């Protein structure tokens, strides 16, 4: 079983690198018409997501992102993640469930049409879960997402994006249910 799991990741990572390399090949034609920006900073973009929920279930999520536009159509980036969950009385009175999730992802986006892009992402999350009165348990979960999105310009260098992704590592332990839908913002310099 473990060998099949390792082979699955090798195939997924190989596909990720093939997509990255092919995007670079397609970008060579546009490179000739692409007016080079003068500095590294002007090709950076920032953004991410933020979430809050309060009540018997509490959620705080912070997922910033930093990316680099390799070409006008192809960008790569990283996104650290922190999530805090607390569910009151999850296992009965005074037995709250508390989870801290740390991790991050690397991603690549390739613009197919105006405002429409393909997206691949590899994410690693670490869970520290505590139930009142019990030891803390630590788990790791890796996800490999493929999908696409829509980018809507808001003005200047800012935009709002909408993503629909499929987790190719969807198991019973997965923190996601396919499809995974995200909404976020980005700002370029």
pLDDT digits (tens, 9 = 90+) for 18-73: 444 444 433 433 444 344 555 788 889 898 887 888 888 888 889 999 999 999 89
More confident call, 81 vs 96: 81
pLDDT score at 24:
41
**Average pLDDT, integer, range 150-161:** 87
pLDDT score at 31:
42
Element (H, E) at 129: strand 116-131
pLDDT digits (tens, 9 = 90+) for 98-132: 888 999 999 999 999 989 999 999 999 998 877 66
Domain locations along the chain: 2-144
How many Å separate Cα 185 from the centre of its chain? 13
Least confident of 32-36, 89-93, 135-139: 32-36
Note the pTM of the prediction, 2 decimals: 0.71
**Average pLDDT, integer, range 170-185:** 83
Q: How far apart are CA 138 and CA 100, in angstroms?
A: 10
């Amino acid at each position: 079983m473990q060998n099949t799991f390792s082979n699955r990741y090798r195939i997924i990572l190989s596909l990720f690198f093939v997509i990255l390399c092919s995007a670079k090949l397609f970008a060579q034609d546009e490179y000739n018409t692409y007016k080079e920006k003068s500095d590294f900073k002007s090709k950076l973009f920032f953004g991410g997501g933020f979430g809050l929920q309060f009540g018997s279930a509490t959620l705080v999520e912070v997922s910033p992102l930093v990316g680099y536009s390799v070409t006008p159509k192809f960008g790569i980036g990283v996104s650290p993640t922190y999530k805090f969950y607390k569910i009151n009385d999850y296992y009965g009175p005074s037995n709250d469930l508390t989870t801290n999730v740390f991790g991050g992802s690397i991603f690549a986006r390739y613009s197919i049409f105006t405002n429409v892009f393909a997206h691949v992402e590899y994410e690693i999350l670490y869970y520290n879960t505590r139930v009142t009165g019990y030891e803390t348990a630590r788990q790791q979960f890796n996800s490999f997402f493929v999908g696409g999105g829509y980018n809507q310009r808001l003005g200047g260098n800012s935009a709002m994006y909408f993503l629909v992704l499929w987790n190719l590592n969807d198991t019973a332990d997965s923190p996601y249910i396919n499809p995974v839908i995200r909404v976020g913002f980005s700002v370029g310099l």
